[in-house]
Amino acid sequence: MSGTVHRIERHALPLTAAGAAGQAEVERSILDDFLGDPIGRADSLGISMRGAQELLGYQIVAGAPASVLLGTARLAAQVGEALLRRAAADEPVTVAIGGGTFRFAPTGPSPEAGPVEWADAYYLASIAGERDIARRLAGVPVAVLRQGGASDDDVLFDRVHALQMSTTGERFEPPRVEASSSDYPVSVVVPEIEAIYALSTADALAFDAALGRGLAGHRAFVEAEAREGDPTLWYALGFLALTLEARRRELPVVVESGYLPLDRF
């Protein structure tokens, strides 16, 4: 595929840039209320992380500058770190969030702190260049994510394992997927894992191939589930993070997509 640009079109969005800017202001206000509440902050981490991801989608479409996008990705990663680390901790954890430092009591494994939330937090940290957050997340045991009961799909845990191995520099192999796996893991998460592996081996051809399949799968999922209005799906979080990392490593990428607003970061 390398050498010729391969474009994956984004699905049609339900609002204009101006509309997205207005929604971003509303979302930011709600998010500030959650995180600014000293009593309810700890109980709203899952909602706040989701809200920050929605805010990022609105900001991307609204044309916000890179500094704003990176700030939102950083905030979401910080909230995700708090959510995931307190699920794995035996004692209170201290986490920096949005310019403040907060202490959270441990919760033990939780459905809010599953393999999807872990991967989202890791990818957001990668986008924001927060390698320390990524390393701390890599220390969260997979067993804790399983015990939370959010999912029993092995492919989601394989993705966590792949990202953890890529953080520590250990070698791994992409999983062999059983036909019984659900559509989303097969069409999106498996290509993500293949892209992680290709990135670790600096294989540009394999990275492009996985990226193209995964973005096509992302759009198919959005349209099949009628989720065109979900701002967290207006960008492909995992593939965006991986492609930005490929750019940092000077690995050539020829796949382009509205799901990958690389020129904005």
Q: Are 132 and 247 spatial neighbours (Cβ–Cβ below 8 Å)?
A: no
In whole angstroms, what is the distance from residue 219 CA to residue 67 CA? 27
Assign residue 250 a region (left: φ > 0; alpha: ψ between -120 and 50; beta: otherwise): left
pLDDT at site 178: 56
How confident is the model over 190-216, as pLDDT tens digits? 999 999 999 999 999 999 999 999 999
The mean pLDDT value of the chain amounts to: 91
Using pLDDT thresholds of 50, 70 and 90, give the confidence band for residue 37.
confident
In whole angstroms, what is the distance from residue 173 CA to residue 194 CA? 9
Is 25's pLDDT higher than 50? yes
Calculated CA dihedral for residues 57, 63, 66, 67, nearest 10 degrees: -90
3-class secondary-structure state, position 183: helix
pLDDT at site 40: 83
Using pLDDT thresholds of 50, 70 and 90, give the confidence band for residue 224.
confident
In whole angstroms, what is the distance from residue 161 CA to residue 137 CA? 12
Interval 92-115 mean pLDDT = 92
How confident is the model over 119-156, as pLDDT tens digits? 999 999 999 999 999 999 999 999 999 998 777 788 89
Closest Cα to residue 82, out of 98, 67, 70, 71?
Answer: 98
Is 1's pLDDT higher than 70? no
User: pTM of the prediction?
Assistant: 0.94
Using pLDDT thresholds of 50, 70 and 90, give the confidence band for residue 85.
very high
pLDDT at site 211: 96
Percent of the chain residues topping a pLDDT of 90: 78
Q: Give the number of residues written for the chain.
A: 265
User: Token pair of 39, please?
Assistant: 């009593």
The partner residues of 256 in beta bridges, in order of sequence, read 7
First-residue to last-residue Cα distance in the chain:
24
Is 2's pLDDT higher than 60? no
pLDDT at site 180: 42
Q: Which residue has the higher pLDDT, 175 or 168?
A: 168
